[in-house]
Amino acid sequence: MYNIRKITEDLFLVGANDRRLSLFEGVYPVPIGVSYNSYLLLDEKTVLLDTADKAVHHQFMENVIKALNGRNLDYLIINHMEPDHCAEIPSLLKKFPNVKLVCNTKIQTMLKQFFDFEIAEDQIILVKEGDTLNTGRHNLTFVFAPMVHWPEVMVTYDTTDKILFSADAFGTFGAIDGNIYADEVDFDHRYMDEARRYYTNIVGKYGPQVQALLKKASGLDIKMICPLHGFIWRKDLDKYIDKYMKWSTYTPEIQSVLIPYASVYGGTQNAAEILGAKLAELGVKDIKICDTSVTDASYIIADAFKYSHIVFASTTYNNGIFVSMENLLHDIVAHNLQNRKIAIIENGSWAPVSGKLMTDLVSQLKNVEIIGNKVSLKSTLKENQIEELEALAKAIVDTMSL
């Protein structure tokens, strides 16, 4: 049965949730699901903004057809060609063969890459930055947002109702549980962590490009943001935009310490736990310790964007870094984390090398300062090394603004 949500007099949410997907993009766990948002504008012309993932085919098509209420579909605006939003284009073309596809040249190229169907040249309306499509009462302007999150991405701004259709930007993991507006849920407690995990893992690498979009958006009078995942924003936009400013400039949200550790038999974990205790005794709040073999890397990456200080603690394994820590560090480097203070604890029962190797990896990050002396364990922490951990805790706290 259709499930359509009215946003304004002539704008409807026609997307759907996937609550059974285990790994978004084949890599990110989504334990509270994900929504694929699609928006239908019923003006003098009818306009669909993006489609949906193939996993929600039936719900999506049923919604679109019902919401159109017998009208034809005049335009499909394609803001993003990732298949979680474009997979239903073939179904839509089958149902509405005369629909005009509104897109840019990069999207046109990707249409040919992803699909084999023939599209007549006159069925495509190519737009450039700043072009406007009039649909009757509404004027829709196209703003290019390359690398947020793919190169072809654009966002659409409805100058009539001041609505920004923001593609992946301002989205979050998490299905929509009835409430479609961020101000109708306890966003900070229920969804902010998932929003951060979504942003940092999906577009975290492209901070400067997100900054470019934020700069363009700052010139627009925006009353509502309609992203392709998660909730619609109509209140407290500044609060969420401020988060995006922090994340895209790699600015820590809190002065505190994240301690990801990799431990085979508990020796390294023990040092991480004692360091956490020493930091707490020095007044550090909200310390977070996590086992890289247990906590999925996407959660640790999100926290790495949140915390000002990170202590990486790993045993040596196969003359290298323990595999779950090594993968995490490569992931962090790939996500372009910057502006952090980092400390290192290593372990190795006969030839500890993980400290040097971890230092080499994190040294690739921009504006990273290695603080304190590396603590090097041989199998387990010894009584006379407690002082080393205390010194490390003090060196960390000395660089914090508590």
Question: By the criterion CB under 6 A, which residues form the site for ligand FEO?
Answer: 80, 82, 84-85, 149-150, 168, 228-229
Nearer to ligand FEO, 169 or 275 (CB): 169
Residues 169, 213, 197, CA angle at the centre, nearest 5°?
A: 30
Closest C-alpha to 343, from 300, 389, 297, 386: 389
Strands 369-370, 341-347: pairing kind = parallel
CB of 163 to ligand FEO, least distance (A): 19
Nearer to ligand FEO, 38 or 256 (CB): 38
- Nearest residue to the partner ligand FEO, using Cβ: 82
Nearer to ligand FEO, 73 or 110 (CB): 110
CB of 198 to ligand FEO, least distance (A): 9
Kindly state the DSSP code that residue 378 receives in the 8-state scheme: B
Strands 288-291, 5-8: pairing kind = unpaired
Return the C-alpha torsion angle 356, 296, 181, 6, nearest 10.
130
Nearer to ligand FEO, 30 or 185 (CB): 30
CB of 333 to ligand FEO, least distance (A): 21
Q: How many CA atoms lie within 13 A of 218 on its CB side?
A: 11
CB of 61 to ligand FEO, least distance (A): 19
Nearer to ligand FEO, 30 or 345 (CB): 30
CB of 228 to ligand FEO, least distance (A): 5
CB of 255 to ligand FEO, least distance (A): 32
Cβ-Cβ contacts under 8 Å for 230 (sequence gap 6 or more): 35, 37, 170, 171, 172, 173, 174, 176, 182, 191, 195, 198
Q: What is the spatial distance between Cα 157 and Cα 168, in angstroms, rounded to a whole number?
A: 14
Instruction: Quickly count helices (H) and strands (E) in the chain.
Output: 13, 23
Nearer to ligand FEO, 5 or 85 (CB): 85
